Amino acid sequence: MFAPVSWPLAHGRALELGRGAVVMGVLNVTPDSFSDGGRYARVDAALAQARRMAGEGAAIVDVGGESTRPGGAAIDAAEEQRRILPVIEALAGEGATLISVDTYREETARLAVAAGAHIVNDVWGLQRDPGVARVAAQTGAGLVVMHTGRGRRTLPDPIEDQKAFLSASLAIAREAGVEAQRIVLDPGFGFAKETAEHNLVLMARFSELAALGRPLLVGTSRKRFVGAVTGRESPDARDAGTAATSVVLRLQGAAVFRVHDVAMNADALAVADAMLAQGLAVVRGNGR
């Protein structure tokens, strides 16, 4: 279940997945993201936060220029690029940290990889702009393909909907020439999973997603369902709850964890990895 695999990335880089949990730090260079909008809109503030997250254990920094929260203001590609490209270029100049770009646009993805990004993270699973897959194929970038329920009719069973949507995304990637080993899948917690129960069922049955055959990334950080479970209304107060979800999902096979509070989640995941190293049994949900 946790057999290590190498995730090949752009610019000749690679990352081992499976032996230990990999933390991806969230860096929103936006004015309106649900948790940290406006804090890192300046390049100097964004760089300082990226360095802080790397020092706390983030192997990847995920740079996003457009809020994906429900009701977030839409922007055009030019504005997205104005926000993210200077940050990516500056981070790439420092050299050590792997950089992911959070975008669903082909043009932005191409420019971001040219600026130094190693990974493209598409929250629409290649199904809004299939050109993102062409960028990954042509540049050798790692590709995160996320499930979403937004803008479409979903299947009643959440795991069957995951499999149907992500299988379609994998077909788009394959048609574009993306090598399978470059792809990581994300079940998209909070993206049109309308209730806390929907997200909790997905967590309980998470191990069933192993059937898709690719490593799994999860992004539960500060999501509304964590607040519903813990009673924490403020997103900033949901980090302990997020760390609990990280442990549960690590024990069910997740490889990469996209989080805001790197230090807290890195510590929690170190405990989960220690349990796995001891071969301790894990109780997994079976959907019944």
Q: What rounded mean pLDDT belongs to the chain?
A: 92
pLDDT in tens, 113-152: 999 999 999 999 999 999 999 999 999 999 999 999 998 9
Q: Is residue 283 part of a domain?
A: no
* Residue 284 pLDDT grade (very low, low, confident, very high; cuts 50, 70, 90): very low
Residue 256's SS3 state is strand
pLDDT in tens, 247-275: 999 999 999 999 999 999 999 999 999 99
Question: For residue 21, what is the domain's CATH number?
Answer: 3.20.20.20
DSSP alpha helix (H) spans, the chain? 43-56, 77-94, 106-115, 131-139, 158-176, 196-204, 224-230, 239-251, 262-277
Query: Is 223 one of the catalytic residues?
Result: yes
> Quick one: pLDDT at residue 32?
54
Domain count of the chain? 1
- 134, 182, 250, 258: the catalytic one is 258
Query: Is 193 one of the catalytic residues?
Result: no
Locus of tokens 């949507």 = 165
* Residue 286 pLDDT grade (very low, low, confident, very high; cuts 50, 70, 90): very low
Q: Is residue 14 part of a domain?
A: yes
* Residue 96 pLDDT grade (very low, low, confident, very high; cuts 50, 70, 90): confident
Q: Is residue 287 part of a domain?
A: no
Q: Is residue 288 part of a domain?
A: no
Residue 164's SS3 state is helix
Task: Give how far Cα 18 sits from Cα of 15, 87, 163, 180, 194, Å.
Answer: 10, 29, 21, 16, 30
Mean pLDDT of 22-50: 82
Q: How many helices (H) and strands (E) does the chain have?
A: 9, 10
> Quick one: pLDDT at residue 236?
93
Return the percentage of the chain with pLDDT > 90, whole number: 85
Cβ-contact 138, 132 below 8 angstroms: no
DSSP result, 258-277: EES-HHHHHHHHHHHHHHHH
* Residue 31 pLDDT grade (very low, low, confident, very high; cuts 50, 70, 90): confident
Q: Is the pLDDT of residue 215 over 80?
A: yes
Domain that holds residue 226: 5-277
Q: Is residue 286 part of a domain?
A: no
Identify which of 148, 151, 160 has the alpha carbon closest to the alpha carbon of residue 193.
148
Q: Is residue 113 part of a domain?
A: yes
Lowest mean pLDDT, pick from 6-10, 37-41, 270-274:
37-41
- 205, 223, 238, 250: the catalytic one is 223
> Quick one: pLDDT at residue 36?
53
Q: Is residue 284 part of a domain?
A: no
> Quick one: pLDDT at residue 237?
97
Identify which of 154, 65, 47, 146 has the alpha carbon closest to the alpha carbon of residue 101.
65
* Residue 282 pLDDT grade (very low, low, confident, very high; cuts 50, 70, 90): low
Cβ-contact 256, 17 below 8 angstroms: yes
Q: Is residue 65 part of a domain?
A: yes
Q: Is the pLDDT of residue 222 over 60?
A: yes
> Quick one: pLDDT at residue 42?
87
pLDDT in tens, 149-198: 998 999 999 999 999 999 999 999 999 999 999 999 999 999 988 799 99
> Quick one: pLDDT at residue 283?
46
Q: Is the pLDDT of residue 58 over 60?
A: yes
